[in-house]
């Protein structure tokens, strides 16, 4: 059995052809093997459906491992910002109201936004915001906007400590 995009086939000729092609691609990676085993037998590698021994990262970069973008519940996110804010817990009600009434609706309207998640670490007195985007340009524009918004952040009882731009390698959405 082998996955061909969203289709799964058990046709031995197709399985053999795909396994050989994938084995050739993977065999060029340092420390990897292209052991495809015998058709009709249960393969023993790390990814039995693919029939090759390779890490998920290598397979994803080669486009050989189906990721959330290939599934029914895919995410269009390719970049994200991760922002860490110091929180004044004595002003928690103000900052929470600002988050729900201004920040979330404003971020939602920003161009290229796919999703946003805000988390609170009370022990560290920090909030972490992860916002995903359809493009690097959209993520960079958002990062600049957040970095230049210190005055409004202070009024809401938060202080930007760091904001990073990162690539989204994989994601999933449960049904």
Task: Provide the CATH number for the domain around residue 87.
Answer: 3.30.70.100
User: Has residue 46 been placed in a domain?
Assistant: yes
Residue 66 to residue 6: CA distance in whole angstroms: 8
Indicate whether this model's pTM tops 0.85: no
In the predicted model, is pLDDT for residue 57 greater than 90?
Answer: no
Give me the domain span that covers residue 26.
Answer: 2-66
* Count of domains forming the chain: 2
pLDDT in tens, 149-171: 999 888 888 999 999 999 999 88
Backbone angles phi, psi at 166, to 5 degrees: -135, 160
**DSSP secondary structure letter of residue 55:** -
User: Has residue 74 been placed in a domain?
Assistant: no
- 10 compared with 65, residue with greater pLDDT: 10
Residue 16 to residue 93: CA distance in whole angstroms: 61
pLDDT in tens, 69-97: 444 444 678 999 999 999 999 999 988 99
Q: Are residues 130 and 154 in the same domain?
A: yes
Q: Are residues 46 and 108 in the same domain?
A: no
pLDDT in tens, 13-56: 666 666 666 555 545 544 444 444 444 444 444 444 444 444 44
Q: Are residues 90 and 55 in the same domain?
A: no
Q: Are residues 107 and 57 in the same domain?
A: no
In the predicted model, is pLDDT for residue 63 greater than 70?
Answer: no
**DSSP secondary structure letter of residue 43:** P
């Amino acid at each position: 059995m082998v996955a061909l995009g969203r289709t799964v086939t058990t046709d031995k000729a197709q399985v053999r052809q795909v396994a050989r092609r994938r084995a050739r691609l993977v065999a060029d990676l340092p420390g990897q093997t292209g052991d495809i085993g015998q058709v009709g037998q249960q393969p023993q590698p790390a990814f039995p459906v693919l029939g090759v021994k390779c890490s998920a990262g290598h397979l994803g970069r080669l486009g050989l491992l189906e990721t959330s973008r290939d599934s029914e519940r895919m995410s269009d996110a390719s970049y994200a910002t991760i922002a860490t804010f110091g929180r004044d817990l004595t002003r928690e009600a103000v900052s929470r109201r600002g988050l729900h009434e201004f920040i979330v609706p404003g971020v939602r309207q920003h161009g290229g936004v796919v999703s946003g998640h805000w988390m609170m670490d009370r022990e560290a007195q920090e909030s972490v915001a992860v916002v995903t985007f359809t493009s690097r340009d959209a993520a960079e524009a958002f990062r600049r906007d957040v970095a230049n918004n210190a005055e409004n952040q202070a009024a809401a009882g938060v202080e930007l400590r760091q904001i990073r731009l990162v690539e989204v390698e994989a994601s999933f959405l449960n049904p």
